[in-house]
Amino acid sequence: MEEAKRERSTLAAASAAAISLVLGDCDLLGEIFLRIVFPTDLVRAAAVCRRWLRAASDPAFLRRFRDAHPPRLLGFYLTAFSTNQSFSAEFVPMTPQPPEVDAVVRRGRFGLDSYVSRSTRVMDCRNSRVVVNLFRDGYFTPAVHSPLHPARGLVTLPRLPVIDDQKLYIFREVFCQECDNVLSYFWFELHYNQKDEKATADVYKLHGDAWSMQISASTKTLRLLTSVLNTFSVFLVNDKIYMGITVHNILVLDLTSSTFSTINYPMKYSNRVGKLMFDGEIMLSRANGSGVYLVHVKELQLFVWFHSGCHGSMGDWSLVNTIGLRDLCANLKISNSTTEDDYDRDVYIHAVGDNAEFVFLQMYQCVLYLDVRRSALQNVCNMTGKKAHVTSIHPYLMTWPPIFPVLKE
């Protein structure tokens, strides 16, 4: 009996030593953590001990984890402009979802209908915060809605700078940017002087309860009004605002130096009816680190380009993916039989995910979700019968990076 106990004790000690050898090796521990699918489970693992917390929160590991498991798309906010001349925004959940993600969606409060507003438009959506523009008491009021944290309620931001009737605005929007778990809000407006052919950007940053001017910069931009794209793509990342608003090039505003630069597009243009026309639909998206992605759709063919450099030459662009949409649409039984106007474009791009991981398209009154990695197309919303025009789509993803526990000393 004693011999058997000693043998079991020896085996248990050997097993514990082997487990400790594996789980005590940060490299092996990282490989094990990499097989966790959901960030929520990664946070639970990090709470076990300091060693596991260091391994799970290591920036190099988190980059690998994100590449293997991109933040889960919970749904999207669809903003439409209706026949009564007002905006309305609704949340459309992505289905089906794994049970772990489905539970997160059920606990959240994603709808915006409870807020008093004659017109509601989503302006930005990042890291579980939704920036909305509400029309109340004759004024547009920006506010922040947190669907996964209903207890926060609606956080109203200070009233935006007053519109100058003498200026021709191309773009007016609120951006949010997170740095070291601190969220900052920026108000960006771009206006154009047609006589001087000069575009001017004014950028305000929210400090406390007031917007303060951060920079004002101008650049010469020829024929901007005749070169504005069908769909704007403007975003803030790493203190730079990228603007896909002309058929000539991408306009980039550096907030640190208050200077403009341009990035030439990787494709050619065609001249029709004496006017420079962009061939197809395009939209930009953020890239991890530096760089920018560009999605281009032409004749049911989708191209994904990546620009890694800081110069605007063609050599800085690389074609990273090409997807034929015709067969994918045929599998969904989508056709243009409802479209009789030969001049209507068949495909609209409404949103592109970070790193061009997914694309939201509109085709023949259907809103489609394209998983670029898997080349899989899904019909996620049908606009047939709705007397509204889709103006924008803002994807809502799980928070990234994960918020890890702070262990007591």
Q: Which long-range contacts (CB under 8 A, 24 or more apart) does 137-146 make?
A: 142/174, 142/187, 143/115, 144/176, 144/185, 145/112, 145/115
Identify the weakest region by mean pLDDT among 196-200, 336-340, 393-397. Answer: 336-340
Based on the fold, state whether residues 119 and 161 are members of the same structural domain.
Answer: yes
pLDDT at 269: 45
User: What's the whole-number mean pLDDT along residues 292-309?
Assistant: 90
Based on the fold, state whether residues 94 and 39 are members of the same structural domain.
Answer: no
Distance CA 402, CA 59 (A): 11
Q: How many domains does the chain have?
A: 2
Based on the fold, state whether residues 76 and 62 are members of the same structural domain.
Answer: no
Identify the weakest region by mean pLDDT among 163-167, 314-318, 370-374. Answer: 314-318
- Residue 51: strand, helix, or coil: helix
In a domain, 235, yes or no: yes
- Give the Cβ contact number of residue 94 at 10 Å: 17
Of the three residues 30, 51, 67, the one that is the final residue of a domain is 67
Amino acid in the structure at residue 65: F
pTM: 0.85
Based on the fold, state whether residues 54 and 107 are members of the same structural domain.
Answer: no
Residue 341 has pLDDT above 50, yes or no: no
Based on the fold, state whether residues 102 and 125 are members of the same structural domain.
Answer: yes
The mean pLDDT value of the chain amounts to 84
Question: Are β-strands 198-207 and 182-193 bridged in parallel, bridged antiparallel, or unpaired?
Answer: antiparallel
pLDDT at 401: 83
% the chain with pLDDT above 70: 84
Of the three residues 67, 84, 103, the one that is the final residue of a domain is 67
Residue 238 has pLDDT above 50, yes or no: yes
> What distance separates the 2 farthest-apart alpha carbons in the chain?
99
> What is the domain range of residue 296?
70-169+223-397
% the chain with pLDDT above 90: 44
pLDDT at 30: 86
- Name the pLDDT band for 260 (thresholds 50, 70, 90): very high
Identify the weakest region by mean pLDDT among 145-154, 258-267, 275-284, 357-366. Answer: 275-284
Based on the fold, state whether residues 28 and 57 are members of the same structural domain.
Answer: yes
Q: Residues 349-380: pLDDT tens digits?
A: 999 999 999 999 998 789 999 999 999 999 99
